[in-house]
DNA sequence: CCGGCTATTGGACGTTTGCGCAATATCGTC
DNA sequence: GACGATATTGCGCAAACGTCCAATAGCCGG
C-alpha cells in the first residue's frame, strides 16, 4: 500500500468511526481498529490526532460541498441553482454529516487544525452561494445589493435551523427548515413567494 | 452548608470551570478543585457528570434568558423590545457563554441531560421572541403572518451568524452580525430599513 | 542473495476519565 | 454529652486517552 493510499485509508476509517461516534469522541484506537491495523501507524502519517480529525472532517465536508457545487453548475438558471442548493444543503438522511459540523464548531476552540478546516470550508460554502446570487443579480433574476452579506445570511439561517433539527431532534421538522429558509431567501432576493418551493 | 447551598456551590464552580475550559472538557475533578473539596462530593449531589454539565449550562443560559426577558418587558414598544433583544442576544464579551451553546449542541448527541436542557432553553428563547412579535402584530407595529416561524428564523439566523464569530473568530465581525440580522428582521416583520438599528 | 529503507507492529508510559465505596467529620436532636 | 443521620473525605478501580519507541516485516535496488 503506497503512502498516499494508506493516508486515504486512514481518513476513510476515521470518517466511518466519526459517522458513528461523532468527531469529538473519535480516538486513535477506534480508527486503527476500524482499519484492522495498529494505532502507531496513524501517528506515522499524522503528527497529532487534531490533524486526523481535521482531515477526516474535510473529506466529508468537501464531498458535500463539491456535490452541491457540481449540481448547481448544471442548473439551468440562478433560480434553479438556488433550488438545488436548498435541496442538497438541508440535512436529511445524512444527519451524521451535519453532526460533524456541530462537533467541528465546538471543537474549534480546542483543536487548531479543526478550527482552520472548519473556517475554510464554511468560507467556501459562502463563496459558492455568493457567486450564485451575484450571477442571478447580473441576469436580473435576483434583486440584492450585497450578495456577500446575503449569502452569509442565507447560509447562517440554514445552519441555525438545521442545528435545531440535528441537535434537538423533534423541536422543528426538516420540512419546516426547507419552507422557512426558502421563504427567507425569497424575501432576501426579491423573489415572489413560492418561487423556490 | 445546606444541601441547596451546596448544590448551588457545585454549579457555580462548574460554571467557572466551563467558562475557562468549555463545557465538553469540564471534569469532575476540575469542579471539585474549583470548590476546594473532594470529587466524591459531586457524586453525592448529582448522579452523573451529564447532569452536572446540563445543570451548569442551564444556570448560564437561563441567566442570559431572564436578563433579556426582563429588559424586553420594560421596553416601551414591541419595536423597542426587539432592539433590546438584538442588543442583549448578540455575543460580545460573553463569548464564552455562546461557546457553551456550541458545546451543548454538539454534546447533545452524547449526553441526554444536556440535550434535554439545551432543547428546553432554545424553545424558551423562541417563545420569548414569538410573544414579542405577536404583541407587535397585535398593535400594528409588525406585519407577520406566522410569528412562531418568524421567531425561529430570526433566532436561527442569529445563532448561525454568532456561531461563525465565536467558532471561527475573524471570518465575520460582531458588527456584521448585528447589521445583517437586524436587516433580515426588518424585512421579515415589514419594517422600514434602519428601524432596528 | 543481500543491505538498507520504510511501513508496520505491539505495547509501554504517564495522564486522565467517571464512578464507587469505606472511613471520617460534622451537626442537630434527644 | 451521647447518638444517629448525613455531609464529606480520600483514595481505589478499571478503562481510555494521546503519544512515543524499540522491534519486526517486507519490499526494492544493488
* pLDDT, tens only, A63-109: 999 999 999 999 999 999 999 999 998 887 558 999 999 999 999 99
Compute CA distances A24 → A28, A50, B194, whole Å: 12, 10, 42
Taking CA atoms, what residue in B is nearest to A22? B109
Per the prediction, chain B carries an average pLDDT of: 95
Q: Which of A168, A185, A190, A193 to mutate to test the interface with B (most CBs of B within 10 A)?
A: A168
Tell if A5 CB is < 7 Å from nucleic strand C. no
Which of A148-157, B126-135, B162-171 shows the lowest mean pLDDT across its residues?
A: B162-171
Instruction: Please tell me whether residue A57 adopts helix, strand or coil conformation.
Output: helix
- What is d(CA B41, CA B2) in angstroms, rounded to the nearest whole number? 13
- What is d(CA B117, CA B67) in angstroms, rounded to the nearest whole number? 18
Q: Are A76 and A28 in contact (CB under 8 A)?
A: no
How does pLDDT run across B3-12, given as a tens digit for each residue?
888 999 999 9
Q: What is the pTM of this model?
A: 0.95
Of B122, B171, B172, the CB nearest to A164: B122
Reported as a pLDDT band with limits 50, 70 and 90, residue A33 is very high
Count CB neighbours of A79 within 10 A: 18
How does pLDDT run across A122-152, given as a tens digit for each residue?
999 999 999 999 999 999 999 999 999 999 9
How does pLDDT run across B64-94, given as a tens digit for each residue?
999 999 999 999 999 999 999 999 988 875 5
Length A155 CA → D16 C1' (Å):
38
Tell if B174 CB is < 7 Å from nucleic strand D. no
Q: Please list every residue in chain A whose beta carbon sits closer than 8 Å to the beta carbon of residue B158.
A: 160
- What is d(CA B159, CA A99) in angstroms, rounded to the nearest whole number? 16
Tell if A30 CB is < 7 Å from nucleic strand D. yes
- What is d(CA A82, CA A88) in angstroms, rounded to the nearest whole number? 10
Of B109, B123, B184, the CB nearest to A153: B184
Task: Tell me if B102 and A109 make a contact (CB, 8 A cut-off).
Answer: yes
How does pLDDT run across B7-62, given as a tens digit for each residue?
999 999 999 999 999 999 999 999 999 999 999 999 999 999 999 999 999 999 99
Find, among B82, B21, B14, the residue nearest to B45 by Cα: B14
Q: Smallest CA–CA separation between A39 and chain B, in Å?
A: 24
Amino acid at each position: 500500500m503506497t503512502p498516499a493510499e494508506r493516508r486515504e485509508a486512514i481518513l476513510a476509517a476515521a470518517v466511518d468511526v466519526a459517522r458513528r461516534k461523532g468527531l469529538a469522541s473519535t480516538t486513535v484506537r477506534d480508527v486503527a481498529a476500524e482499519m484492522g491495523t495498529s494505532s502507531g501507524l496513524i501517528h506515522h502519517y499524522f503528527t497529532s490526532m487534531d490533524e486526523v480529525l481535521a482531515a477526516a472532517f474535510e473529506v466529508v465536508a468537501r464531498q458535500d460541498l463539491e456535490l452541491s457545487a457540481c449540481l448547481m453548475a448544471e442548473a439551468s438558471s440562478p433560480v434553479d441553482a438556488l433550488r438545488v442548493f436548498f435541496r442538497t444543503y438541508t440535512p436529511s438522511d445524512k444527519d451524521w454529516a451535519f453532526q460533524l459540523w456541530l462537533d467541528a464548531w465546538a471543537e474549534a476552540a480546542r483543536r487548531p487544525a479543526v478550527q482552520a478546516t472548519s473556517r475554510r470550508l464554511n468560507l467556501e460554502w459562502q463563496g459558492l452561494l455568493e457567486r450564485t446570487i451575484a450571477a442571478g443579480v447580473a441576469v436580473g433574476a435576483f434583486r440584492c445589493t450585497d450578495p456577500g452579506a446575503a449569502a452569509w445570511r442565507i447560509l447562517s439561517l440554514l445552519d441555525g435551523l438545521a442545528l435545531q433539527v440535528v441537535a434537538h431532534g423533534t423541536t422543528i421538522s426538516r420540512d419546516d427548515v426547507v419552507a422557512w429558509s426558502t421563504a427567507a431567501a425569497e424575501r432576501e432576493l426579491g423573489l415572489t413567494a413560492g418561487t423556490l418551493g
